[in-house]
């Protein structure tokens, strides 16, 4: 299928490369049509890869994946144009990280709001599904790199869109459906975005970004 | 050993009961010496259990476990008196939940600060170790209730205190040391306290509080 990738960083490159290798027609969108990182990626990723502005990539994609820095996401999506996103599923893997005070970053929004909610509010006719933001991009596109059971989450107001994204996570990246936890409406993005601070600590503790959260379940208590 | 438990709610009762059953001399502290819930607990928990004010419980304990509601923790600890906590390890299992806008709660502090840090700042001569706040109290005192591997975290400025609490989690509740992740200084409490919003969602999704986080680890990337 035709997929628009927003963002030319590590995450956009990882997802775009994997999707192009799977035979999808992937256009990487950025602020300018002659972005050097996007051009490098197109050369590396082959015939299924192309590059353009955010507007071009949004118009190209049957679905769009937001891989921009969280602080730049809303502006990038506005540049794409509401019409070009209307009716489509927007997969949001971004985190609202605030590096203005150095490392580790804090969040620009949390607790009573989230980036996922802000995007959904700004684009009410787009079906925003927050997912994969709780892990490194290497794990996103190849969950087998972390052994054992570990989980992804989907958050979004449209149940069919959450189910569709769950199916795509399987087809695109190999996420088994039982390892994708449906947390319900987009307000649950507060929870998954707020996992970033502990994720950053775990990265420092274990000296590897190749880790992920697993939700271990016990028996339900007697009613 | 002699242990002070702060708080008469579900968490204080669960931890106090388990510790008394293990032979520790547990005093449950609350605002008033004749607290009805504490008296009920003393009757149920047997000869190792006693009750008193926060001051009494802090003076009694070689260590103190803060199981109060996060919104009440700092005041409870102030009532206990700095002298009675000086030099001791204070195990903080509370979460700064804000129920003022209903359910689900938000956090009263997060992102650039945490309850754990606020307690450490208020009691600089006490060794605050944040732990167990990322799970239900049933799981805290019996990790075997959730099958498979799942993890607790310790956060605190004093490495020896973190190691001591890790050992106590094993002796008291059965947490194997390899399942207790040392996240370093008390600023890491931001991360573990910010796991509460997704925990609350998971509780709603799976209809059970008998769940816990596990950190699945892959190989370290080549340097």
* Chain B interface includes A188 (CB < 8 A): yes
Q: Identify which of A36, A33, A34 has the alpha carbon closest to the alpha carbon of residue A9.
A: A36
CA distance, residue A183 to nearest chain B CA (Å): 6
Residue in the block written with tokens 């206990």: B80
DSSP state of A33: T
Q: Count each helix (H run) and each strand (E run) in chain B, helices first.
A: 10, 11
B105 contact residues in A (CB cutoff 8 A): none
Query: Which ranges in A27-132 belong to alpha helices (H)?
Result: 36-45, 54-60, 70-80, 82-85, 115-122
Strands, E assignment, chain A: 2-6, 25-30, 49-53, 63-66, 89-92, 97-98, 106-107, 127-131, 152-155, 180-184, 211-217
Q: Angle between the A115-122 and A70-80 helix axes, to the nearest 10 degrees?
A: 10
For residues A33-49, average pLDDT: 97
pLDDT digits (tens, 9 = 90+) for A64-100: 999 999 999 999 999 999 999 999 999 999 999 999 9
Residue B141: name the closest of B7, B2, B12 by CA: B12
d(CA A63, CA A86): 10
Mutate to test the interface with B, among A10, A147, A215, A223 (most CBs of B within 10 A): A215
Q: What are the chain B neighbours of A194 within 8 Å (beta carbons)?
A: 110, 194-195, 197-198
| Interface contact A219-B208, CB threshold 8 A | yes
Q: Which whole number is the average pLDDT over B133-151?
A: 97
Q: How confident is the model at residue B223 (pLDDT cuts 50, 70, 90)?
A: low
pLDDT at res. B219: 80
Residue A210: both structure tokens together: 């190749």
Is the pTM higher than 0.80?
A: yes
Burial environment of residue A184 by CB neighbours within 10 A (0 to 12, 13 to 18, 19 or more): middle
d(CA B210, CA B212): 7
Q: Which CATH superfamily is domain B2-206 in?
A: NAD(P)-binding Rossmann-like Domain (3.40.50.720)
Mutation for B interface: A196, A198, A202, A205, most B CBs within 10 A: A198
Q: B107: which chain A residues are within 8 Å (Cβ-Cβ)?
A: 111
| Amino acid A223: pLDDT | 67
Whole-number Å distance between alpha carbons of A49 and A4: 10
- The answer to whether residues A6 and A57 touch, using CB atoms and an 8 Å cutoff, is yes
pLDDT at A219: 80
Selected for mutation to probe chain B from A197, A200, A205, A221 (highest B CB count within 10 Å) is: A197
Chain A: nearest CA to B179, how far in angstroms? 13
Q: What percent of chain B has pLDDT over 90?
A: 96
Question: Which tokens hold the place of B105?
Answer: 């709660």
Contact criterion met (CB < 8 Å) for A208 and B218: yes
Instruction: Decide if A18 touches B, using CB distance below 8 A.
Output: no
B161 touches chain A (CB under 8 A): no
- Nearest Cα to B137, choosing from B19, B1, B2? B19
pLDDT tens-digit readout, A3-39:
999 999 999 999 999 999 999 999 999 999 999 999 9
Q: Quote the pLDDT of residue A69.
A: 97
> Which pLDDT score is estimated for A129?
99
The mean pLDDT of chain A is 97
- At A184-220, the pLDDT tens digits run 999 999 999 999 999 999 999 999 999 999 999 998 7
Distance from C-alpha of B144 to C-alpha of B146, rounded to nearest angstrom: 5
A153: left (phi over 0), alpha (psi -120 to 50) or beta: beta
For B38-89, the pLDDT digits (tens) are: 999 999 999 999 999 999 999 999 999 999 999 999 999 999 999 999 999 9
The answer, yes or no, to whether ipTM is higher than 0.90 is yes
Taking only the tens place, the pLDDT of each residue in B74-88 is 999 999 999 999 999
Average pLDDT of chain B to the nearest whole number: 97
Per-residue pLDDT, A221: 75
Question: Which residues does A23 contact at the CB level (< 8 Å), separation at least 6?
Answer: A48
């Amino acid at each position: 299928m035709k997929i628009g990738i927003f963002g030319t960083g590590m995450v956009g490159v990882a997802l775009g490369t994997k999707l192009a290798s799977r035979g999808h027609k992937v256009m990487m969108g950025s602020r300018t049509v002659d972005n050097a990182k996007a051009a490098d990626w197109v050369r590396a990723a082959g015939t299924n890869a192309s590059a353009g502005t955010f507007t071009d990539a949004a118009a190209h994609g049957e679905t769009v994946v937001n891989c921009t820095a969280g602080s730049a996401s809303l502006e990038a999506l506005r540049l794409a144009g509401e019409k070009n996103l209307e009716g489509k599923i927007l997969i949001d893997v971004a985190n609202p990280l605030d590096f203005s005070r150095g490392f580790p970053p804090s969040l620009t929004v949390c607790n009573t709001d989230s980036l996922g909610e802000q995007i959904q509010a700004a684009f009410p006719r787009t079906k925003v599904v927050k997912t994969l933001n709780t892990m490194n991009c290497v794990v996103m596109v190849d969950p087998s790199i972390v052994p054992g059971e570990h989980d992804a989450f989907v958050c979004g107001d449209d149940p069919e869109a959450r189910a569709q994204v769950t199916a795509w996570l399987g087809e695109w990246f190999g996420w088994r459906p039982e390892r994708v936890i449906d947390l319900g409406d987009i307000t649950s993005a507060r929870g998954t975005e707020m996992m970033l601070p502990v994720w950053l600590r775990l990265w420092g503790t274990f000296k590897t970004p190749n880790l992920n959260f697993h939700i271990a379940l016990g028996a339900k208590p007697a009613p």
